[in-house]
Amino acid sequence: MRILIAVATLMLSATLVIAADTRATLEAELHAFNDRFNTLSANRDTEGLVALYADHSLWIAPETPPEPGQELARKNFGFLVENAGSLVHTVEELILSQDGTQAVMIGDAIIKVEKAGLDFVGTYLFVMQRDADGWEIIADMFNRHAQD
């Protein structure tokens, strides 16, 4: 009986370690995704940024109705590029589904577009989906923090 309990305990411990390893791998993938987002933004690569969004993604901006598809992402990133603006995302929180196929990424969006008089920090929230090709954004929601 003791041997059975020891084996069961060992198997459970191995399962927990594998789950922790999987979680760490998924979190590393999501941080790498954010690094890629920031690199594409720094390189002013509108189409590269848009490609991070699923075809059926949902863009949820302040004071506007949700918009399906990639067009608003293309329009907003295009505005940044045309006006030599910058956008940097941080990762402050990651929430993973138990099966590792979906995630929520939340962080700061730091936006500067000198030509348009924009310089502010907001919060973004990505709902993401993972498939064999990696992660993609299926919903993008953001706001602008009130300034003093």
Q: How many domains does the chain have?
A: 1
Chain segment 137-146, per-residue pLDDT in tens? 999 999 877 7
Q: Cβ neighbours of residue 48 under 8 Å, at least 6 residues apart?
A: 40
Residue 57: what pLDDT?
A: 95
CATH number at residue 132: 3.10.450.50
Residue 61: what pLDDT?
A: 86
- What residue spans of 43-122 are helical by DSSP H? 46-50, 71-82
Q: How far, in Å, are 35, 54, 81, 102 from residue 90 at the CA level?
A: 9, 21, 20, 19
Rounded CA-CA distance 27/20 in Å is 10
Indicate the average pLDDT of the chain. Answer: 87
Higher pLDDT, 90 or 6: 90
Rounded CA-CA distance 12/144 in Å is 45
* Gap between the terminal Cα atoms of the chain: 67
Residue 3: what pLDDT?
A: 55
Q: Any idea of the CA torsion for 50, 80, 42, 88, to the nearest 10 degrees?
A: -90
| H/E segment holding residue 135 | strand 134-144
Residue 14: what pLDDT?
A: 41
**Rg of the chain, C-alpha, whole Å:** 19
Chain segment 8-58, per-residue pLDDT in tens? 444 444 444 447 788 899 999 999 999 999 999 999 999 999 999 999 999
Task: Say if residues 60 and 141 touch (Cβ distance below 8 Å).
Answer: yes
Residue 29: what pLDDT?
A: 97
Chain segment 56-107, per-residue pLDDT in tens? 999 998 888 899 999 999 999 999 999 999 999 999 999 999 889 999 999 9
Domain encompassing residue 45: 2-144
